[in-house]
Amino acid sequence: MFFPLLKGLLLGFSIAAPVGPIGILCMRRTLTLGRLHGFLSGLGAATADAIYGFIAGFGLTLITSFLLDQKVILQLVGGLFLIYLGVQTFRSKPAAHAAKATGDTLFKSYASTLLLTITNPMTIMSFVGAFAGLGLGGSGDAGFTPAIALVIGVFTGSALWWFLLSLVIGIFRDRIQGTAFLWINRMSGLMLIAFGLFAVMGLLFRE
């Protein structure tokens, strides 16, 4: 059980680490809303990673095939949602203090990144490719318990990355003042819009 857990841990961490729209969103929320919002934003992505890791790890080919068949609509929904978040972020005024950690706002931070990651078809493809390429789910990982350990490892590894990211970025929050937050919102918003447009435009140029 230890080795599947370790494999999942490393895989979850490595898939979460590349900076993309989720990373930008997490960093922006950490800087403007506080560490808890940033971490929960990342935790939403970690949950989606665990769900897709579960699907890939247990070899649920029917669900995997369905998700890949629906990748166009998923990419469209994810891209439009990114554009929406980008516009909202660009237009938002910087808060003087970190947002209060109420259940409603924290849930929004968590749920928005969960939706974004779930609607990214590249996530499931990354896990399927990684599991196949690294031999995960093979004879050494066969059985219910090792597979569960693998999924727990994926979630823990991904969550660990988001915890470290929000922790480090949160340190800089105390050193940022004045109009810097306004530019953080604008730059973050533009990058999120760019990611969203790239996803949507990619559908128009599909072969």
CA atoms of 40 and 164, how far apart (whole Å): 12
Position 81 in a domain: no
From the list 159, 162, 166, 161, the residue with the least C-alpha distance to 32 is 166
Distances (CA, A) of 80 to 99, 140, 181, 204: 26, 41, 25, 14
Q: How confident is the model at residue 97 (pLDDT cuts 50, 70, 90)?
A: low
Residues of the chain with pLDDT > 90, as a percent, come to: 17
Inside any domain, residue 147: yes
Q: Has residue 192 been placed in a domain?
A: no
Residue 91 falls within a domain, yes or no?
A: no
Count structural domains, the chain. Answer: 1
Asked if residue 155 is part of any domain, the answer here is yes
Sequence-distant (6+) residues with CB within 8 A of 23 are 165
Q: Residue 22 domain-assigned? A: yes
Type of residue numbered 94: P
Looking at residue 140, what is its pLDDT?
Answer: 46
Quote the pLDDT of residue 207. Answer: 53
DSSP 8-state symbol, 141: G
Domain of residue 131 covers 2-70+97-176
Whole-number pLDDT of residue 132? 61
Within a domain: 158 = yes
Q: What's the rounded mean pLDDT across residues 32-45?
A: 91
In a domain, 7, yes or no: yes
